[in-house]
Structure 1
């Protein structure tokens, strides 16, 4: 069985940002197939029109591991809800600096109006949330705790900030690697 991972970047980022390439390299060294796609519409286009293109661009099955950072993590909620509705469950979904409600005053097109939490939960056999007590954008431990309450899984809370942004590039994230292996 070959494990596959798809790493979804955050808002305004791309495959070369923060720890994405580092994680992909570490997983490939262990024999994983890894995609780090560029989806510039993340949190720019409404998720209802953006999600079908994401679904068409990738294959999802029981050997797939999904990793999303920030806006990419929020995208995973809609993606998992769709998979749960279709009867597909990925092996593991990790939401890094994830959120399910607007973390600030800005509009968040990546979020749905609401979620069918049972369907989201059905979309992954294992769920992990990695949030920070010091996230400057509001993708914080409270958001992680709320998602944990809706979905179960595992919540890891750290003091690291946003786990990668312009002010904190975070080129490696060893904790994430350990959570996946």
Structure 2
């Protein structure tokens, strides 16, 4: 079993103020479709390796062809089993939007969610069958899916850390605004 790892993201502007806060994590994909897809692509790879080996080593004799094919196939199997079921995710709160650099579930492109930090009301966990989803709710009751495929403890860790990131950025905005001179100070 792999250790669930997260990376806290904090970005600062030139004046040293917090300008963005978020989190990076890795989701596991171990469902039927992910395993079936891995098996399919492994079979395609094995067929390709056997074809290339037969073409390149046409004159080779003995155990060279089967050994080379088995070695390349084993290497591919290890690589696919290590990486096939994993998907990197991140959510980074900015003052005027939420950046999702590795995409959302079912949308793998980098996205910019037009949700200002003041509009991000809640970061929550939602259960669907055996997996847990991560959602950001806005003050207008819209929901944005940030991730899925985590177990309960992983999802709660991500939600807690994302909530801290949102709160840190809000606090930074509040501190920055309180350092600005008020009309009362200027008049006096």
Shorter-chain TM range is: under 0.3
| TM-score (normalised: structure 2) | 0.25
Question: Rg bigger for which structure?
Answer: 2
Structure (1 or 2) with the greater strand fraction: 2
After TM superposition, the score normalised by the length of structure 1 is 0.25
